[in-house]
């Protein structure tokens, strides 16, 4: 069982909590929407809706909770009640860090005192000792029937401050996750110190890591704990990315919540694959037993390590590698996604979509601004499929950022030829040609792009620029008018359209456009100043 304590106060922000009760609408106020406005932040309302049930076999809490941050001041609290009235009602009497009851039609919130849970068993609910569920004996450990590649381990060594790699020594590794505030972790580190000789005889590497200290934690506390226990093996801080990688793998294997309790330990084989997991205090007898099991061939793990008695109706399989890769990518961990992908290339969940997975990993590298690895993968994809236009378009963008303009233009041109319905390379190549004053070639590409993306304001923007260069004011006018319709905050569009009307000697139309531009909201300050100057001249 896990217990989560919600601590609010000096280190957390303020909050509002409220229950709603309908009188004209349904009593539970299902569908009611509450809007909270904070002083100074009226343009960013906080909104919650009462929902009674979401998901499969689940029940939502009817209490609405609003996190306010620190030092917030409540400007107003408004409820839009559900049918049949759909009335909007503003409530007074709402206070920070309080629980409230809002009753439809009263207009005033009541302060309530929610029930508090007590961890005790009333005498009438007590059971006999022989009927109680016995506490588990020994540690919560599991020898896995499938070995997944463990994330690359990096840590900042406590003794030297240098960044080091864990594992990869050709020996099995026992990785311990701990925290300086954890009493059980202290006991475990002390026990491992006492058993150091026996651990060395096992021929394994031992590494203890804890997450990098937070802003409100003492960065020297971990070193003091290690020194106090006398722990003789390497110890250090693990960066957030490595911790997140471990969480992704843990959820993939056990469908556990988004956290890892401490102490938790992992046994890795000499190739860096996860073989066993230990939750809670470690027992060396389990580690010794599991080390012997490392000799079991991976293709016979399911038959050698039996979780349950009985007969398999079909050959058992482990978790799908494609799901693990997806988990890494969803958490922006492309390096681990690629490592898992390479290891499981022949798995049936991957074999039919290799190019798609490689493209997604490469795009994740791009999002992380790791252009070197992104370019490497896009090049590999193009080698595998010489008609892949989208990978060429992405690789061209990387080459442009690197300053290799000729190569970027070549790749965009090839992408245009390979896929006539692909708009992006036409736009990208057209922009570069416009910079090079090759307007005629650029306009051909922008016209093709506009045919594919008729409602994209950028298409109208660049077409208007090209027509202005050619002094074709009639066509420039058409595209500028449409640009303002699609993007009314574009200050340059108002300026350029006014210039078009002045060139056509239509002063009244120019004056009208300038006025509209000055009245529009969201115009950047530079464009506004230009429009003001034009207004004074007109």
The C-alpha atoms of residue 48 and residue 32 are separated, in whole angstroms, by 9
For residue 125, give both structure tokens.
């609910």
Q: How many residues does the chain have?
A: 538
**Could you tell me the pTM of the whole model?**
0.67
Question: Where on the phi/psi map is residue 168: left (φ > 0), alpha (ψ -120 to 50), or beta?
Answer: left
pLDDT at 440: 96
Q: Is the dihedral of CA 520, 522, 525, 530 positive or negative?
A: negative
Q: Please tell me the predicted confidence (pLDDT) of residue 290.
A: 92
Residue whose tokens read 């409820």:
79
- Phi then psi for residue 434, to 5 deg, are -65, -40
Q: What are phi and psi of 127, to 5 degrees?
A: -120, 165
Cα 128 to the center of its chain, rounded Å:
48
H or E element in which residue 451 lies: helix 439-452
Q: Can you give the pLDDT at residue 249? A: 92
* Contacts with 163 (C-beta within 8 Å, 6 or more apart), sequence order: 154, 155, 156, 157
User: Which pairing describes strands 33-38 and 235-238: parallel, antiparallel, or unpaired?
Assistant: unpaired
Beta partners for residue 149, in sequence order: 273
**End-to-end C-alpha distance for the chain, whole angstroms:** 76
Task: Please state, in angstroms and rounded to a whole number, the distance separating the CA atoms of residues 263 and 185.
Answer: 5
- Please give the pLDDT value at position 317: 66
Beta bridge partners of 165: 154
Contact assessment for residue 422 and residue 415, using Cβ atoms and an 8 Å cutoff: yes
Q: Boundaries of CATH 3.40.30.10 in the chain?
A: 140-304
Q: Which top CATH class is 455-538?
A: mainly alpha
Element (H, E) at 481: helix 473-486
SS3 331: coil
CA 172 to chain centre: 32
Residue 213 gets which letter from DSSP? P
The CATH number fitting domain 14-112, selected from 3.30.479, 2.30.30, 2.60.40, 1.10.10: 2.60.40
Q: Which two structure tokens, joined as six digits, stand for 310?
A: 């009985």
| Sequence-ordered list of residues with C-beta below 8 angstroms from that of 208, at least 6 positions apart, any chain | 176, 178, 189, 226, 231, 233, 234, 235, 236
Helix (H) or strand (E) holding 511: helix 507-519
Classify the C-alpha dihedral 275-281-282-285 as positive or negative: negative
Q: Which ranges in the chain are annotated with CATH 2.60.40? A: 14-112
Dist CA 480 CA 169 (whole Å): 65
Are 83 and 22 within 8 A, CB to CB?
no
Alpha helices in 173-239 (DSSP H): 183-194, 196-202, 221-229
Q: Residue 4's pLDDT is what? A: 52
Instruction: Enter the tokens of residue 48.
Output: 């919650």
What is the CATH class of 140-304? Answer: alpha beta
Tens of pLDDT, residue by residue, the chain (538 residues): 445 555 544 455 788 999 999 998 888 888 888 999 988 887 778 888 888 765 444 556 788 888 888 888 899 999 999 888 888 999 999 998 889 999 999 999 999 887 554 444 444 444 455 544 344 444 478 888 888 899 999 999 999 999 999 987 889 999 999 999 888 999 999 999 999 999 999 999 999 999 998 888 898 999 999 999 999 999 999 998 999 999 999 888 887 655 678 899 999 999 999 999 998 888 999 999 999 999 988 777 766 676 556 665 666 666 788 889 999 999 999 999 999 998 887 777 787 788 899 999 999 999 999 999 999 999 999 999 999 999 999 999 999 999 999 999 999 999 999 999 999 999 999 999 999 999 999 999 999 999 999 999 999 999 999 999 999 999 999 999 999 999 999 999 999 999 999 999 999 999 999 999 999 888 899 989 998 998 888 8
Across the beta sheet with 88-91, what order do the strands follow? 46-49, 33-38, 74-80, 88-91
**Could you give the residue ranges of the DSSP H alpha helices within 153-212?**
183-194, 196-202
Note the pLDDT of residue 47. Answer: 85
């Amino acid at each position: 069982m896990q217990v989560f304590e919600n601590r609010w106060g000096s280190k957390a922000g303020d909050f509002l909590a409220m229950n709603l009760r309908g009188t004209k609408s349904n009593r539970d106020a299902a569908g009611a929407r509450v809007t909270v406005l904070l002083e100074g932040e009226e343009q960013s309302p906080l909104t919650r809706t009462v929902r009674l049930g979401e998901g499969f076999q689940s029940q939502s809490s009817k209490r609405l909770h609003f996190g306010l941050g620190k030092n917030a001041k409540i400007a107003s609290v408004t409820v839009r009640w559900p049918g049949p009235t759909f009335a909007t009602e503003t409530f007074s009497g709402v206070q920070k860090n309080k629980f409230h009851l809002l009753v439809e039609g009263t207009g005033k919130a009541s302060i309530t005192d929610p029930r508090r849970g007590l961890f005790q068993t009333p005498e009438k609910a007590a059971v006999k000792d022989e009927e109680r569920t016995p506490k588990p004996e020994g540690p919560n450990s599991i020898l896995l029937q499938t070995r997944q590649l463990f994330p690359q381990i990096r840590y900042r060594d406590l003794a030297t401050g240098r960044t080091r790699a864990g594992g990869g020594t050709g020996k099995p590794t026992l990785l311990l996750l701990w925290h300086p505030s954890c009493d059980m972790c202290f006991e475990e580190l002390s026990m491992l110190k006492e058993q150091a000789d026996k651990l060395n005889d096992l021929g394994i590497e031992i590494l203890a890591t804890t997450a990098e200290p937070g802003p409100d934690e003492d960065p020297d506390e971990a070193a003091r704990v290690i020194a106090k226990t006398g722990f003789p093996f390497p110890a250090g801080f693990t960066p957030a990315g490595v911790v997140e990688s471990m969480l992704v793998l843990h959820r993939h294997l056990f469908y556990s919540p988004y956290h890892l309790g401490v102490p938790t330990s992992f046994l890795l084989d000499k190739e860096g694959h996860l073989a066993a997991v230990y939750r809670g205090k470690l027992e060396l007898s389990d580690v010794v037993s599991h080390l012997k099991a490392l000799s079991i061939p991976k293709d016979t793990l399911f038959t050698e390590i039996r979780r349950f008695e009985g007969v398999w109706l079909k050959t058992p399989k482990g978790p799908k590698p494609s799901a693990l890769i997806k988990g890494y990518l969803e958490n922006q961990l492309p390096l681990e996604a690629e490592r898992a992908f390479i290891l499981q290339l022949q798995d049936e969940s991957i074999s039919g979509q290799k190019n798609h997975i490689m493209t997604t990993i490469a795009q994740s590298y791009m999002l992380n601004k790791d252009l070197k690895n992104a370019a490497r993968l896009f090049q590999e994809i193009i080698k595998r499929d010489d008609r892949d236009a989208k990978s060429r378009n992405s690789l061209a963008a990387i080459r442009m950022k690197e300053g290799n303009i000729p190569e970027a233009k070549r790749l965009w041109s090839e992408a245009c030829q390979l896929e006539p319905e692909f708009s992006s390379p036409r736009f990208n190549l057209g922009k570069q040609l416009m910079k090079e004053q090759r307007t005629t070639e650029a306009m051909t590409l922008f016209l093709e792009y506009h045919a594919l993306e008729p409602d994209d304001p950028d298409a109208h923007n660049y077409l208007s620029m090209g027509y202005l260069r050619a002094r074709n004011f009639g066509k420039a006018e058409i595209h500028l008018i449409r640009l303002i319709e699609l993007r009314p905050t574009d200050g340059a569009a108002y300026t350029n359209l006014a210039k078009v009307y002045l060139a056509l000697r239509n002063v009244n139309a120019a004056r009208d456009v300038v006025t509209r531009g000055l009245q529009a909201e969201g115009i950047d300050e530079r464009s506004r100043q230009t429009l003001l100057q034009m207004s004074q001249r007109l």
